[in-house]
Amino acid sequence: MAKIVILIGILLVIIGVIWLLFPSMFSWIGNMPGDIRHTSGNTRVYFPIVSMIIISIVATIVLNLFNR
């Protein structure tokens, strides 16, 4: 279990560095069809439903590969 947590931490650091150096690479997050945005006056509500589903599917596949 500890190895998985360490690998996830390293993966997050790598993604953070890539995001810092190439911000346009992750511009699709939050801009997919199905993500809900509502603006009314000074209030903005945002639900990235489809983006989170895709991230969840990818994370599930990656974690299943590590567990085998």
- Give the pLDDT confidence score for residue 65 in this predicted structure: 87
Domain boundaries, the chain: 25-68
Q: In whole angstroms, give the CA distance from residue 38 to residue 51.
A: 16
* pLDDT above 80: residue 56: yes
Return the pLDDT at 15: 87
pLDDT reading at 2 higher than 90: no
Are the CB atoms for 33 and 50 separated by under 8 Å?
A: yes
Which alpha helices (DSSP H) does 1-68 contain, by range? 2-21, 49-67
For residue 65, give the nearest of 2, 8, 17 by alpha carbon. Answer: 8
- pLDDT (tens digit per residue) in 27-45: 777 778 888 888 999 998 9
User: What pLDDT is attached to residue 14?
Assistant: 92
pTM: 0.58
